[in-house]
Amino acid sequence: MPLDRAEQYPAPLDIVRRLVKPERDRNKETRTREEWWRFTRTRPELYETVRNLGHVLAISLVSNAVMPVRVPTGPVFAHKCAVFAIDDFGGLACLSSSAHTVWTVRYTSTMRRDINYSPSDVFLTFPRPESNPKMERLGRRLHTERRELMFSRGWGLSTTYNHVHDPSDRDPEVQALRELHAEIDAAVLAAYGWSDLDLGIGHHSTKIGVRWTVGKEARFELLDRLLEENHRRAALEGGK
């Protein structure tokens, strides 16, 4: 949109002029500096991929929560989030599981106690299981019940999971969310065929602080099995 057309919307343009332009004025890239009212790096290939989907999954690139959320495809996505072309609730359950968190902590970097999520190092190498009706049901419950909790308390995602990971928080609704995550972990591992693994879910010390997650021994075993599954799939791909 050219500037003269943008000026037909003075109220939002004034917000951009006050909040965005000062930062753009310091940018070394000429186009970014001169076209301060435009989005930069709009990634048309991303929007082409998701244009037929009603929703996608998004996860903050720097966060302690390491939790995806299901969002509509209409808004423009911020450059500080990873967007996955997954619109089913089973995918939400999978990426909300301890399996995904264990893989993430192992294969990406940290900033203090925050995870610096790398889609190429984590998502593209994570051997996701096939979704199933139970994962779909649990993913839908997570989306609905977590959203209701966040809205009722006025919490963001990080604050919500700060409560989940706080052993001293005895709030019944927070405990219900913990138990839902435990159900998700069990369902995801069952989808891999690993129901034999004793998860020992509770509050445990980890590389990124105390978390409501699977126990230490289970984390090591889970990581070993995920790595083996990754290698198995890579070998199958290589044999084609």
Q: What is the pLDDT along the chain (240 residues), one digit of tens a residue?
A: 677 887 787 887 787 788 777 877 877 777 777 776 666 655 555 555 556 677 889 998 888 999 999 988 865 555 678 888 899 999 999 999 999 999 999 998 876 778 889 888 999 999 999 999 999 999 999 999 999 999 999 999 999 999 999 999 999 999 999 999 999 999 999 999 999 999 999 999 998 999 999 999 999 999 999 999 999 999 988 766
Instruction: Give alpha helix (H) positions in the chain.
Output: 3-6, 10-19, 21-25, 30-34, 44-50, 89-95, 98-107, 133-153, 157-164, 172-192, 216-238
pTM: 0.79
Read off the tokens for 35. 């076209």
C-beta separation of 132 from 184 below 8 A:
no
Q: Which of 210, 211, 209, 185 is nearest to 198 (CA)?
A: 185
CB distance 185 to 199 below 8 Å: yes
